Amino acid sequence: MLHRSGRLAAEFSVLPGLFGALAHGPDAMADLGRVGRLLARVDPDEIRHHHPDATPLTVTVSGHGTLDVLTGPLTAELARHGIPLRAVLGDHDSWRRDLQDTSSPLYAKDTDLSLIVLDSAHVLDELPLPWRVSDAAEAIGAKLKLITRLVEAYVAEASGTLVLNTLPLLTTQLRQLVDHRSRTELSVLWREFNTGLLRLALDHPRVHVVDLEPLVAESGPVRDTRLAVYTKEHLGSELLGRYAREVAHLARAVRGRTKKVLVVDLDNTLWDGILGDDGPDGIALSGTYRGEAFAAFQRVVKQLGSQGVLLAVCSKNDQEPVERVLADHPDMVLRPEDFVAVTANWRPKDGNLRDIAARLNLGIDSLVFADDSPFECGLVASGVPEVAVVRLDEEPALHIDRLLADGWFDTRELTEADRQRAGQYRADAGRRELLDTAATMEEYLQALDVRVTVAAVTEPDIPRISQITLRTNQFNLTTRRLQPDDVRRLLDSPRHLVLAVRSQDRFGDNGVVGAVFAECTDDGLRIDNVLLSCRVFARGIEQAALGALLAHARTAGATAAWASYRPTAKNHKVRDFYPSLGFETVAEGADGVLDFRHDLTQLPPVPPHVTLDATFDS
């Protein structure tokens, strides 16, 4: 209906919910491919005109076979995450030329992802006739060397992320060898080739390799043999649909849209039964046919929590019995210390989710909500559409598959700060208690004993600094996303300052909570961006860090500092950050961009409750 009425661009914000409902239906890949083809006809710039924060993602697609079928599912999967697609398709079998030619679209500065879709024909089409395993070994080795060389050239010259994939080996290819020993040798060679491709992603942060093997296990046949012969579609539409989903998960991480919190229901979600009706002894987590499935689900939830995903409970129950079960039930895998928030009451869940987000000082779109009730899932989907909803049902054996299907928590690289995140949020309970007992905010801050360290970023800090730029949306003055290589390039520039901001207080060490990017220019210091984790808002950390930088600039001989603010849907709270530190507004653009100047005569003082330690490279 939206397509027929010409309202797809205007109503783009409702598509994530609509496409999300299709994504787990019985014909999900076919349905998403169909609606994606309709959406692909819409100019992505028209979508952005109606939705300024829906910045199109430019994706180039190149390969060996026919790949037109990829556009539909890729458009739909990106739309599920609020990202319009601008696709640039290469010519048939142009992958090598596109990677070699630095003037090709793959190397354009506005290209975000460059997809090189590989298939077994890349290797086997080059074999002589007849061929032996030794011929395959030679071809496989040469192809891996070629791809490695082209990847290294891309990483050196391009600014986007290169996406490769492993190659499925088909039975019709393997069975051309009639002896089992030769088949085994070829299988070993093939796996070593795929391992070599996967290692490219370990060696180069801006290279990502989609492993097709688990996707093939889910999707069935790799291809339709007839289409492979007649139209050169070497990968089938079902497999390409699942590949598109993996690419969309990567795109979400690149755009800083990784989810941060998993909120789970309890009754028939974490355990079998209704606590209010069955009592603590009546719910099952192990020892029963269904209970084992719930225990397995809890283990997966705990595994996610160990990697920085914050866990919370939102249940229609009474608080005290819930806390008792979490603490004392002998079969519980998850315990109170695994959760940063436990909300059990009889209020509507959409409101409770808003409260949880506020308590954690996170945007509501940071949450993923998993529940077995169709009513509750529908209520949340309509009441807080920003929340990703995982719709479980009465079959607990499928809970794990449904929770993991959309990769909501996928990130480019896990940092030590991720592993410590849950403990840091739990420490906030002590801070809230201190705040509740303090007579004034000044008294609270003084008692908190905030200590801030500002220092140049070092190599071990790079993944965390990149992650801050990718995931921080509220306190982010320009919302420029940086991959690790981008941070490293700034570090290598003698004109740039890249600073890590750390904080600790009486309740513990918060680690790296912010970053400052600046450049020395002919007219003074240009502050490119300032970022701060939402965990540590309103403690004077940002004022202390910027005050230290401005003092350093004046000492180094600068006569002025310049900065800008670029508005987004989420950073409006920091619009007045620079003026609060004595910056003067010197220009305002039609798009809301503000330019500021500080004459460095009267510097902002370090807040009296903050102990500051700032060091700068000369």
Range of the domain at 219: 12-254
Instruction: Please indicate, yes or no, whether residues 527 and 468 belong to a single structural domain of this protein.
Output: yes
Confidence of residue 617 (pLDDT cuts 50, 70, 90): low
Q: Specify if 449 maps to a domain.
A: yes
CATH of the domain at 481: 3.40.630.30
CA–CA–CA angle 156, 416, 305 (5° rounding): 120
> Final residue of a domain: which of 355, 388, 404?
404
pLDDT in tens, 484-496: 888 998 998 888 9
For residue 430, the cross-strand partners are none
Measured in whole angstroms, how far is the alpha carbon of residue 353 from the centre of its chain? 21
User: What does the alpha-carbon distance between residue 20 and residue 245 come to, in Å, rounded to a whole number?
Assistant: 12
What is the domain-level CATH number for residue 148? 3.40.50.1110
Return the number of other C-beta atoms located less than 10 Å from residue 251's C-beta: 22
3-state secondary structure of 237: helix
Residue 379 lies in a domain: yes
* Residue 54: partners with Cβ closer than 8 Å, 6 or more residues away: 12, 13, 47, 48, 82, 83, 84
Summary mean pLDDT of the chain: 90
- Residues near 198 by beta carbon (within 8 Å), at least 6 away in sequence: 166, 209, 211
The percentage of the chain sitting over the pLDDT mark of 70, rounded to a whole number, equals 99
Which residue, 600, 238, 264, 256, is CA-closest to 402? Answer: 264
- Shared domain check, 266 and 329: yes
Note whether residue 227 is domain-resident: yes
Residue 225 lies in a domain: yes
Based on the fold, state whether residues 398 and 448 are members of the same structural domain.
no
pLDDT tier, 618 (very low <50, low <70, confident <90, very high otherwise): very low
Q: Identify whether residues 243 and 332 lie together within a single domain.
A: no
Residues 441 and 576 in one domain: yes
To the nearest 10°, report the CA torsion of 410, 400, 423, 474: 40
216 and 84 part of one domain: yes
Q: Cβ(301)–Cβ(264) under 8 Å?
A: yes
Chosen domain end from 204, 228, 254: 254
Condensed to tens digits (0 to 9), the pLDDT of residues 12-67 reads 888 888 888 888 878 888 889 899 999 999 999 999 989 888 899 999 999 988 88
Nearest C-alpha neighbor of 252 from the set 145, 378, 412, 486: 412
Query: Does residue 49 contact residue 9 with C-beta atoms inside 8 Å?
Result: yes
Q: Average pLDDT, stretch 248-275?
A: 92
Taking alpha carbons only, the member of 469, 525, 536 closest to residue 503 is 536
Count of structural domains within the chain? 3
For residue 148, give the nearest of 209, 104, 78 by alpha carbon: 209
Instruction: Give the mean model confidence (pLDDT) for residues 169-175.
Output: 90
What amino acid is encoded at 260 in this protein? K
> Is residue 112 situated within a structural domain?
yes
Q: Which of 406, 399, 515 is nearest to 456 (CA)?
A: 515
Is 5 part of a structural domain of the chain? no
Answer yes or no: is pLDDT of 417 > 80: no
Q: Are residues 524 and 553 in the same domain?
A: yes
341-347 mean pLDDT = 95
- Please indicate, yes or no, whether residues 365 and 218 belong to a single structural domain of this protein: no
Distance in angstroms (rounded) separating the CA atoms of residues 36 and 8: 11
Among the three residues 254, 273, 297, which one is the final residue of a domain in this structure?
Answer: 254
Quick check: 295 and 402 in contact, CB under 8 A? no
> Both 387 and 527 in a single domain?
no
**Residue 543's closest CA among 574, 520, 512?**
574
Residue 272 domain-assigned? yes
Same domain, 582 and 514: yes
- Does 376 lie in the same domain as 452? no
Look at the block and give the residue holding tokens 């993923």. Answer: 368
Report, as an integer, the average pLDDT of 469-479.
87
Which residues 6+ apart lie within 8 Å of 170 measured at CB? 120, 222, 223
Q: Taking 70 as the threshold, does the pLDDT of residue 572 lie above it?
A: yes
Please give the average per-residue pLDDT across 314-327, as a whole number: 94
Q: For 233-252, how does the pLDDT look when each residue is reduced to its tens digit (9 = 90+)?
A: 888 889 999 999 999 999 99
In a domain, 7, yes or no: no
Query: How many Cβ atoms sit within 10 Å of the Cβ of residue 9?
Result: 20
pTM, two decimal places: 0.83
